[in-house]
Amino acid sequence: MNRDSQTEALAHLWAMDEEIGGIGGYLLPKNPVQNPFPGGDERPLFRPLQYAASELERDVAHGARYIVQYAGMHLEAVTRQYLKQVHTLGAIRHHNSTLGKAVHQIAKLRTMDEKTVQSLLVFVRLYNMSKHEVNQDETRERLFSVEDALIAYLSGRILGVRLLAEIGLVSS
The span from the CA of 55 to the CA of 30, in Å, is 8
Find the domain containing 70 and state its range: 3-166
Q: Is the pLDDT of residue 1 over 90?
A: no
Residue 136 falls inside a structural domain: yes
Out of 17-21, 38-42, 124-128, which region has the weakest mean confidence (pLDDT)? 38-42
Number of domains in the chain: 1
pLDDT of the residue at 39: 86
Q: What is the pLDDT of residues 101-119, one digit of tens each?
A: 999 999 999 999 999 999 9
DSSP character for 24?
-
Residue 171 falls inside a structural domain: no
Residue 172 falls inside a structural domain: no
pLDDT of the residue at 94: 67
Sign of CA dihedral 22, 152, 27, 13: negative
